[in-house]
Chains A and B, each alone.
Chain A
Amino acid sequence: MSLREKDLGKGPACTTMKSLSNYLWSDHPDEKKWADCTHCGMCLESCPTYELTGQEQHSPRGRVHLIKSVAEGKLEVNSHFMEPVFACLDCRACTTACPANVDVGGLIEEARGQIRQAMPLKGWKGAVSKVFLQGLFPHQNRLNSLGSFLRFYQKSGMQKVIRKSKLINIMPQHLVEMEAIMPEIQPSVRQKYKNENVIKAKGKTKNEVAFLTGCVMDVMFSDINDSTINVLTRNGNDVSIPQNQTCCGALHVHAGDRDTGRKLAKQNIEAFSGAEKVIVNAAGCGCMLKEYAELFREEEPEWHEKALLFSTKVEDISKYLHDTGFEKPKATINKRVTYHDACHLAHGQGVRNEPRDILLAIPGVEMVHMQNSDRCCGSAGIYNITNPEMAGAVLESKMENVPEDVEMISMGNPGCMLQMAIGVKKYGRNQKVVHTIQLLDWAYQKEDGIEGKDIWQ
């Protein structure tokens, strides 16, 4: 149970609240996680924020050390502690680098939970977080209305007017950049398939899968969801879209709002209870679903087992296709493509070769290696909005690694797609940013004589 507001005035309620030294709330950072850390420093160079600052408190080792120091009573949970903990991109590169398998990302999320309880967000950041995290993402109908509005915005000519007028100048820089690369908004697949229990496989049914459409994904990138369904059904999968599914909660958990995270987790676990496989095409969401059990370590432990079971069913679309086999497309797509490893796919789920193999299976595709392909692009949820300076610098070094002569950058996460599209625009590049599965779908479509559609104007 979380410490409720009325308890706050009573002074330290430590004993009843399962406190750990200066962590006053339950669900505190897990001692077992930092006990694995030997302070060896092998994670330093993997960390984008250490690379930029050179400062230990902005490194994985430093962050683990500080999180541990609060438990040891050497530090308080205050704004100084908050800075390095919230400057983390949650990119998990350190998890890959660490020889002792320290779950730095998990510790950071748990520490953020404590910080948010000790210091609720105020001011405009608080307002933004309330509007988006609580008010929007968990509510499908509101998201749909937003989708309709955005479609109206683009189609009615309003977009043109706004872009021309000075109005755009009063928006925060990041939103301006976001507006500039906004994909053409299509109706969401959840609306589209509202009345169908199962979308049948083309040909013989080999497997049955359930599909997590994602919240923002389904509004901003419903065409990728369409592609995912096409690719799944073409390869013998009956696809169901449980209607009571909701936002995965990753953004909430990254922001320290673990209560909402738990609420959403429970809803999804129930929504997918009948499924054997849960297919996800957004790396960030997939990673979150696989880690639901972490949320129930101390709070509502009766959900822990269910969450563990649920996580075994979750699979990224590229891995699923790769492991169950997929039809090699016959049409050629003559493109030079480079692949960006989304953090939550490569570091978070260990999926690296599968998407590359899918791309290589498309005739005509020429793969060009990207240096540091598994370096974070800086999107990291709402990090862009909360830490614009660091996010900008991370994006810049990412774009430096995108080979000059490629036509497409492929990846498996919508958050990265938005960020990379911003990068392409900002640095005057001309690559098309695509989802791996989309490219496969286009190849199938071409084979069937349907023209592939461009998602970025």
Chain B
Amino acid sequence: MAVKKIKTKDKHIKNLATIVGDASSILYQKVDLLAYECDGFTVYKHSPKAVVFPKNTNEVSALVKYCSDNQLPFLARGAGTGLSGGAIPLNNEVIISLVKMKKLLNVDLENRLAVVQPGYVNLKLTNSISDKGYYYAPDPSSQSCCTIGGNVAENAGGAHCLKYGVTTNHILGLEVVLPNGDIIELSENGILDVPGYDLLGLLTGSEGTLGIVTKITVRILKSPESKQTVLAYFDRVDDGSQAVSDIISAGIVPAALEMMDKTAIEAVESAAFPVGHPRDIAAVLLIEVDGIAAGIDEQINQILEVCKKRNVREVREAKDEQERASWWANRKTGFGAMGAISPDYLVQDGVIPRSKLPEVLKRIEQISQESGLRIANIFHAGDGNLHPLVLFDARIPGETDKAILAGSACLQACADVGGTITGEHGVGIEKREEMRFVFNDEEIIAQTNIREVFNPKNLLNAGKLFPTPGRCGEIKQVMKEATTVS
């Protein structure tokens, strides 16, 4: 298990260890640190200075104050499932890992809220209240492992956010340690609409650059009385995306509306949770409706009708809960499944107007051909959030760079049709430069000015989220160097 005695001369390490109380709550040896050199985004890597595991808010505050006073760069980390590199210690940061703060502090069914520590895993919340008929709605595919603290930082979304909204729509209050160590409470009793600026909204999705979240009050919902899921196979992507539009314009608000293309299907069917999708179809749609039992059948019938009109090859309802669960397991493990058909992948996260899907997919197909890399597409079709997954092999010299460029080109394609460059995975390191596709210099400066109010020394998670104004080219260079260092 963990080392018991501190074996280093570094005074900062010794002092940080004193703050967290014992030597088993700090990592500083090369091997252990290497395990923290990246998160779910593996293109850039850098070893942290140390990893500390605080047990409560006061310890977080003391750690932050120490780092701030001693000019040590630092950042927060949850489960490290982030896909844009937000938790990668590019500047040799001290990583403040929140995973030991993983308690469910309070459940208040009457007021439909729960209070959790930041390291509490998303799915555990639903699991611990489902027997009482409640659940927590935001369901990123990584929900079995990612933390709610990380979800707040990334404003995570999920398959069911089409109907229920993303993380920010479910946050009622936050306790935050500011980059100087001060502890603040936002909307203490879960009462929204306090007068003044919407700081909750600002903090949610700020990618760990404004403060460290140490306590979260979330909204919980009553579980829907009934759900049904439909699977539809299309021979043409156009028909699939047309069906998506038709469903929405018919006035149905599905709980989830997901699409996977042929390459994505190949991956999920080769991986751990295959369900027997035909390999030769162009697109599969997974459509779920929920609500009061009475209305469900009618909606399902409408959906079946729409699909048939759009030349569906095969469409059917889940015959039981087991089948429904297997379809979702297949879909939700979609990213990880890429491992079964490619050694590395880079997932992009664009948002486009739904109607532009066929056009964008064609452009992505072109990008794939130009780069010589395969690109799979997983799509939260209902809200236009597209995930092109660029498949590559980092062991082949030059292929990582090619993948980065291809990914960037996919985002450009999204921006070109009036979309944007991230729906839910955040900007992190990965899409810093692509911020320019949607913001000009002034707009970026306006945002970094806000950061400065909270994080004036820029010691907390520096170098994430924004490109340095006017220095695009140089950033690219720095990023390249970061890769070669690792």
Contacts and interface: CB of A to CB of B under 8 A. Distances in A.
Interface of A: 35-45, 53-57, 59, 62, 65-66, 69, 74-75, 80-81, 83-84, 87, 97-102, 387, 389-390
B335 interface: yes
B336 A54 contact: no
B204 interface: no
B144 A39 contact: no
Contact of A39 (B32, B34, B42, B121): B42
B100 A81 contact: no
Contacts of A84: 31-32, 35
A62 B42 CA distance: 13
A35 B396 CA distance: 12
B333 A99 contact: yes
Nearest to B24: A53
A42 B271 contact: no
B30 A80 contact: yes
Nearest to A37: B339
Nearest to B335: A40
Given A75-B30, A101-B271, 13 more contacts: A35-B343, A36-B340, A37-B339, A55-B32, A55-B53, A57-B27, A87-B1, A99-B272, A99-B337, A99-B339, A100-B339, A100-B340, A101-B340
Contacts of A69: 34
10 contacts: A38-B42, A38-B335, A40-B40, A41-B81, A56-B36, A57-B32, A57-B34, A65-B34, A84-B35, A99-B336
A356 to B, nearest CB: 15
Given A99-B339, A101-B271, A42 B38 contact: no
Contacts of B102: 54
A44 B272 CA distance: 16
B237 interface: no
Contacts of B337: 99-100
A84 B102 CA distance: 23
Interface of B is mostly: loop
Interface of B: 1-2, 27, 29-32, 34-36, 38-40, 42, 51, 53, 79-81, 97, 99-100, 102, 119, 121, 142, 144-146, 271-273, 333-340, 343-345, 395
Given A35-B343, A101-B271, A66 B145 contact: no
Nearest to A82: B31
B30 A41 contact: no
A330 to B, nearest CB: 32
A56 B80 contact: yes
A81 B34 CA distance: 11
A94 to B, nearest CB: 11
Contacts of A83: 31
A38 B344 contact: yes
A408 B48 CA distance: 49
B79 A41 contact: yes
Contacts of A98: 272, 336
9 nearest A-B residue pairs (beta carbon):
A100-B339, A99-B336, A99-B333, A62-B35, A54-B99, A56-B35, A57-B35, A35-B343, A80-B31
Contacts of A38: 42, 335-336, 338-339, 344-345
Given A39-B40, A56-B35, A102 B339 contact: yes
Nearest to B329: A99
B35 A65 contact: yes
Contacts of B343: 35-36
Contacts of A59: 35
Nearest to B268: A99
A81 B39 CA distance: 20
A90 B188 CA distance: 45
A40 B336 contact: yes
B30 A55 contact: no
Contacts of A62: 35
Given A54-B97, A55-B27, A101-B340, A41 B80 contact: yes
A102 B339 CA distance: 8
Contacts of A87: 1
Contacts of A99: 271-273, 333-337, 339-340
Contacts of A54: 53, 97, 99-100, 102, 119
Nearest to A389: B1
A379 to B, nearest CB: 18
A39 B345 CA distance: 10
Given A39-B38, A87-B1, A81 B31 contact: yes
A423 B142 CA distance: 33
Residue picked from A35, A57, A80, most chain B C-beta under 10 Å: A57
Nearest to B32: A57
Nearest to A54: B99
Given A36-B340, A36-B343, A54-B100, A42 B144 contact: yes
Residue picked from B29, B145, B334, most chain A C-beta under 10 Å: B145
Nearest to A41: B81
Residue picked from B1, B335, B344, most chain A C-beta under 10 Å: B1
Residue picked from B36, B53, B79, most chain A C-beta under 10 Å: B79
